[in-house]
Amino acid sequence: MSVGVPIKLLHEGIGHTISVETKSGILYRGTLLFAEDNMNCLLENVSVVKKDGKQILLEQVYIRGGSVCFMIFPDMLRYAPIFKINKSKTKTNFATIRRAMEVHARIASKNKDIKA
């Protein structure tokens, strides 16, 4: 099974300060130390903001991936290599699709000739 772009972005974020909001509404902001493919993550020097607005500072927090609602990453990660598009691969895909459509059209026209 291949790893998707969101998980690759999560791994690119290691060492950067991120924000994580859980399904329960608690917001964690800290430096990402470790991340797993199931979105479990370990944050250090964490500021925790609870629903009622109370803020707590913790040394480390381990967040279960299943409880994550969303994550906010630094803007600098928009230039990460995972977002680069391979132009030659894109051209190949369009050429392949075009050829497949031509073959499909030829087969369809042959089927019309046979039925008629």
Q: For 46-66, write each residue's pLDDT tens digit.
A: 999 999 999 999 999 999 999
Q: Tell me, which fold does domain 5-84 have in CATH?
A: SH3 type barrels. (2.30.30)
Please say if the pLDDT value at position 45 is more than 90: yes
Quick check: helix, strand or coil at residue 108?
A: helix
Which position has the higher pLDDT, 63 or 9? 63
Please say if the pLDDT value at position 112 is more than 70: no
Closest CA to 62 of 48, 43, 49: 43
Q: Average pLDDT of 39-44?
A: 96
Over residues 71-97, the pLDDT tens digits come to 999 988 887 777 776 655 555 566 777
For the chain, the structural domain boundaries read: 5-84, 86-116
Query: What pLDDT, on the 0 to 100 scale, is given for residue 99?
Result: 76
Which residues face 58 on adjacent strands? Answer: 46
Task: Count Cα neighbours of 72 within 13 Å in the Cβ-side half-sphere.
Answer: 8
* Residue 64 phi, psi (nearest 5): -75, 135
The type of residue at 50 is K
Quick check: helix, strand or coil at residue 61?
A: strand
